[in-house]
Amino acid sequence: MFVHLKGVLSTPQIQQVRALMADASFVDGRLSAGKEAAAVKHNEELAADNPLRRQLDNIVMSALLQHVEYQAFALPLKLATAFYVRYQPGMGYGFHVDDPVMGPMAGRYRSDISTTVFLNAPEAYEGGELVLRTPLGETVVKGEAGDALVYASGLWHQVNPVRSGVRLAAVTWAQSLVKRADQRALLWELAQARTGVMAQLPQSDEAARLGMTYANLLRMWSEV
């Protein structure tokens, strides 16, 4: 299960992010990887103690959390601080699944939903596609700057090697209000149907019933 969100970041926001990252110092991305991921991970990241991360979060993470479709798809309960990553020529990230539990011991969270926010234009680099391996086959995504791909953390996925240019992205994870992926999928479909009906028949009994059904299913399945 995944969704491609368009225009999560505006052009001015992308310009701000690019300016902040332009002179930033990066470290080996394998420093933040688990044992299995480290074997296939080859990228660079802003260091965990880099003060720029707070400024970047204020732009990127704030925009993501305020995005209506992200809220409806992920139903976030806990959201991780983003990793800001850079892929230079020859760098990539082989097929892997994200760690099921993340964060420091005092603030552990389950990773239900992964998100990649594309921070530069697809023409800025060759290769570097994000590949999801789903039950229906592989999906290859190379989003526009400011787009986000939101997907279940348990999916096999990889970043193809960058052949030229530089790929910039932000990556984050969320623990959802609803643990089960099949229940989240049903709520997502119902949320889309509710939005369509409310747009066409805002005062109808059908819209009211859809809203009530959505609310009661979320109440039934929510972990809080």
pLDDT in tens, 161-195: 999 999 999 999 999 999 999 999 999 999 999 99
Contacts of 65 (CB under 8 A, 6+ apart): 71, 76, 79
Q: What is the pLDDT of residues 203-212, one digit of tens each?
A: 899 899 999 9
Distance, C-alpha 205 to centroid of its chain: 35
For residues 98-108, average pLDDT: 87
Sign of CA dihedral 143, 149, 155, 161: positive
Using 50, 70 and 90 to split pLDDT, how confident is the model at 107?
confident
For residues 197-221, average pLDDT: 93
Question: Residue 20: which H helix or E strand, with range?
Answer: helix 11-22
Which pLDDT score, from 0 to 100, does residue 210 have? 93
For residues 115-119, average pLDDT: 98
For residues 100-110, average pLDDT: 88
Burial of 95 per CB tally in 10 Å (0-12, 13-18, 19+): exposed
Question: Residue 169: which H helix or E strand, with range?
Answer: strand 167-176
How many residues in total does the chain contain?
Answer: 224
What number of helices (H) and strands (E) belong to the chain? Answer: 6, 17
Distances (CA, A) of 218 to 121, 188, 204, 221, 222: 37, 11, 22, 5, 6
Using 50, 70 and 90 to split pLDDT, how confident is the model at 78?
very high
Residue 182: CB atoms within 10 A of its CB come to 9
Whether 202 has a pLDDT exceeding 90, the answer reads no
What tokens appear for 181 in the block?
């992926």
Q: Above pLDDT 70, what percent of the chain?
A: 99
Q: What is the pLDDT of residues 120-163, one digit of tens each?
A: 999 999 999 999 998 889 999 999 999 999 999 999 999 999 99
Question: Residue 150: which H helix or E strand, with range?
Answer: strand 148-152
Using 50, 70 and 90 to split pLDDT, how confident is the model at 104?
confident
